[in-house]
C-alpha cells in the first residue's frame, strides 16, 4: 500500500511462490486525491480445474493447456483505479513447455478466457512475462496442434512389416553365420548388417508398442533414440564395408585372402563398423544434446538435427552407388 505517510522510490515486486507482479503503484497513488493506493495480488493453486483452458475460444481447433496457476490482481481501497503503466505478470510454467506451441496471456471475462489488453512480453522454457493494461483474473494458456488421428490399418500394416523384417533378418543372420560356402568369402559385414538392423528393428518395434509408457520418461526416450541412431547408422556403415570387400574381391580375386590379412582383418572391420557410428552419435550429443527424444522417441527433425543421421547415410549411398556403377562399367 502507498499513501501520504508511506513513500517509496520504487515499489518492490509482489511475489507468490510461482508468480509475481510489477505494478506502478506510486503513479496510481498520485492520480488519487487521497494520494494513496493499494494492490492485492493472489494466486489460486487449483483454480485451473474450474476455469479450464477449454473456455478459451479460438477460431482454430487446437489443444489448449493451462501453463500457469490462475492469478488475480486488484486495487482495493483505491478511488481511481486507472493504470498509469501496463502491469507485468511473471508466471512460472506448471507443465512442460512445447516450443512449437503458441502462448496466450488471457484474463477471465464473465464466462470465458479472452486476450483483450494482454500480450506475451517474453518467454523461455520456465517462465513467461505477460503485460496487461488492466487488472483482472489472469492465466497463461498454450495452444498446440492436435495430434493426427491414428490409422489402425496403417499401424497394423507397419507392425506386420516390421515383424516380417525381423523374421527375415533372423534367417539371414543364421544363414551367414552357419553357412560358409568358401574360405575366401568374408561374411563378417553381412552378419553385422543383419545384427545391427535386427536389433534396431526390434528396439523400434518394442518402443512403438510401449510408447505410451516410455514417452513420459524423457531420459529413457532420449537413450532409446540415441541407440536407434547408432544401430541404424551402423547398419549403413557395414553396407559400405561390404561394398569395399566386394570391390576388393572383384578386383583381386587371387589376392583377397592376403589383402584381408594385411589391411582388412575382422578386428579392424569391427572397429570401423561400430566406432564410426558411435563417434557420430557422441558428437551429435555433444553439439545438440536436446536433439534426441522426439515425440516418437527418435531424432528430432527441427534445427536440422536429422542430418546427423541423413548426412552420413546419403554419403554412404552415393559412394556405394558410384562404386557399383564404376565396377559395372569396367567389368
CATH 1.10.10.60 fits 14-145, yes or no: no
CA distances from 164 to 1, 61, 151, 172 (A): 73, 38, 20, 12
d(CA 153, CA 145): 23
What is the residue extent of each domain of the chain?
Answer: 14-145, 152-330
Q: Which backbone phi and psi does 32 adopt, to 5 degrees?
A: -105, 145
User: Which one, of 244, 227, 228, 230, lies nearest residue 189 by Cα?
Assistant: 244
How buried is residue 270: exposed, middle or buried, by Cβ count under 10 Å (0-12/13-18/19+)? middle
Q: Alpha-carbon distance 221 to 295, whole Å?
A: 9
Contact between residue 57 and residue 102 where contact means Cβ atoms under 8 Å apart? no
Planar angle of CA 134, 139, 140, nearest 5 degrees:
115
pLDDT of residue 262: 41
Q: Where does the chain have alpha helices with state H?
A: 25-30, 152-178, 188-209, 211-214, 218-251, 256-263, 266-287, 307-330
227 vs 247: CA distance, rounded Å: 30
User: Is the Cβ–Cβ distance between 113 and 141 less than 8 Å?
Assistant: yes
pLDDT attached to residue 323? 77
Judged on CB neighbours under 10 Å (0-12, 13-18, 19+), 313 is: middle
**C-alpha cell of 173?**
543372420
Q: Are 106 and 66 in contact (CB under 8 A)?
A: no
Task: State the sign of the Cα–Cα–Cα–Cα dihedral 259, 265, 270, 276.
Answer: negative
> Distance between CA atoms of 61 and 80, rounded to whole angstroms?
40
Q: What is the DSSP letter of 55?
A: G
Contact of 138 with 147, CB cutoff 8 Å: no
For residue 122, the cross-strand partners are 129
Give the relative orientation of helices 152-178 and 188-209 as an angle to the nearest 10 degrees. 150
Taking only the tens of pLDDT, the chain with its 331 residues reads: 565 655 556 666 788 888 999 988 888 888 887 778 888 999 998 888 889 998 998 877 788 999 999 999 998 877 888 888 899 999 999 988 888 889 999 999 988 999 999 999 999 989 999 999 999 999 999 998 866 555 677 778 888 888 898 899 899 888 888 876 655 567 888 899 999 999 998 998 888 888 888 888 888 999 999 999 999 999 999 999 988 887 777 666 545 444 444 446 778 888 888 999 999 999 999 988 888 988 888 898 877 888 999 999 999 999 888 877 776 666 5
Neighbours of 111 (CB within 10 A): 7
Cell numbers placing 171 = 534367417
Q: What pLDDT shows up at residue 234? A: 94
Which is nearest to 132 in space by CA: 193, 210, 73, 179?
A: 73
Using only the alpha carbons of the chain, give its radius of gyration.
Answer: 31
For domain 152-330, the CATH architecture is Up-down Bundle (1.20)
- Cell numbers at 121, concatenated: 512480453
Amino acid at each position: 500500500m502507498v499513501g501520504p505517510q508511506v513513500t517509496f522510490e520504487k515499489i518492490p515486486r509482489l511475489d507468490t511462490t510461482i508468480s509475481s507482479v510489477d505494478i506502478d503503484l506510486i503513479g496510481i497513488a498520485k492520480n488519487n486525491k487521497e494520494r494513496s493506493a493499494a494492490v492485492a495480488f493472489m494466486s489460486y493453486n487449483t483454480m485451473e480445474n474450474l476455469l479450464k483452458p477449454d473456455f478459451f475460444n479460438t477460431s482454430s481447433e487446437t489443444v489448449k493447456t493451462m501453463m500457469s496457476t490462475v492469478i488475480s490482481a486488484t486495487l482495493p481501497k483505491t478511488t481511481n483505479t486507472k493504470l498509469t503503466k501496463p502491469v507485468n505478470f511473471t508466471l512460472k510454467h506448471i507443465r512442460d513447455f512445447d516450443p512449437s506451441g503458441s502462448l496466450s496471456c488471457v484474463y477471465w471475462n464473465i464466462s470465458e478466457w479472452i486476450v483483450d489488453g494482454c500480450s506475451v512480453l517474453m518467454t523461455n522454457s520456465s517462465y513467461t512475462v505477460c503485460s496487461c493494461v488492466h487488472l483482472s483474473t489472469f492465466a497463461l494458456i498454450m495452444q498446440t496442434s492436435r495430434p493426427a488421428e491414428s490409422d489402425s490399418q496403417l499401424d497394423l500394416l507397419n507392425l506386420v512389416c516390421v515383424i516380417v523384417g525381423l523374421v527375415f533378418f533372423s534367417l539371414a543372420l543364421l544363414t551367414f553365420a552357419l553357412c560358409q560356402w568358401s574360405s575366401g568369402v568374408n561374411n563378417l559385414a553381412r552378419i553385422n548388417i543383419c545384427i545391427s538392423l535386427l536389433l534396431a528393428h526390434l528396439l523400434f518395434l518394442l518402443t512403438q508398442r510401449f510408447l505410451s509408457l516410455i514417452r513420459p520418461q524423457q531420459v529413457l526416450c532420449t537413450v532409446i533414440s540415441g541407440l536407434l541412431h547408432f544401430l541404424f547408422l551402423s547398419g549403413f556403415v557395414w553396407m559400405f564395408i561390404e561394398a569395399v570387400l566386394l570391390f576388393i574381391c572383384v578386383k583381386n580375386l587371387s589376392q583377397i585372402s592376403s589383402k584381408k590379412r594385411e589391411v582388412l582383418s575382422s578386428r579392424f572391420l569391427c572397429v570401423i563398423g561400430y566406432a564410426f557410428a558411435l563417434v557420430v552419435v557422441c558428437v551429435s550429443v555433444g553439439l545438440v544434446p536436446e536433439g534426441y527424444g522426439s515425440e516418437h522417441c527418435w531424432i528430432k527433425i527441427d534445427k536440422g538435427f536429422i542430418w546427423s543421421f541423413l548426412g552420413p547415410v546419403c554419403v554412404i549411398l552415393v559412394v556405394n552407388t558410384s562404386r557399383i556403377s564404376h565396377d559395372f562399367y569396367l567389368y
